[in-house]
Amino acid sequence: MKMKTKNNTERMSPPMTEERILLHKVAQKVFEEASTVNLGLTFHIIISFHLKQKFGKDPYEVLVDDPKTFFNGLEEVLGAGAEAVISLIGAFLVIKYGVNCTADEFVRLLNKGDEPSKRKLKEILIDIANSSKETANINLQAT
Q: What would the pLDDT profile of 82-141 be if each residue is shown by its tens digit?
A: 999 999 999 999 999 999 999 999 999 999 989 999 999 999 999 999 887 655 443 334
Return the CATH class of domain 19-135.
Answer: mainly alpha
User: Measured between alpha carbons, how far is 126 from 111 in angstroms, rounded to an integer?
Assistant: 20
pLDDT at 3: 47
Give residues with Cβ within 8 angstroms of 137, minimum separation 6: none
The full set of domain ranges for the chain reads: 19-135
Q: What would the pLDDT profile of 27-76 be if each residue is shown by its tens digit?
A: 999 999 999 998 999 999 999 999 999 999 999 999 999 999 999 999 99
pLDDT at 17: 82
Q: What would the pLDDT profile of 18-27 be if each residue is shown by its tens digit?
A: 888 889 999 9
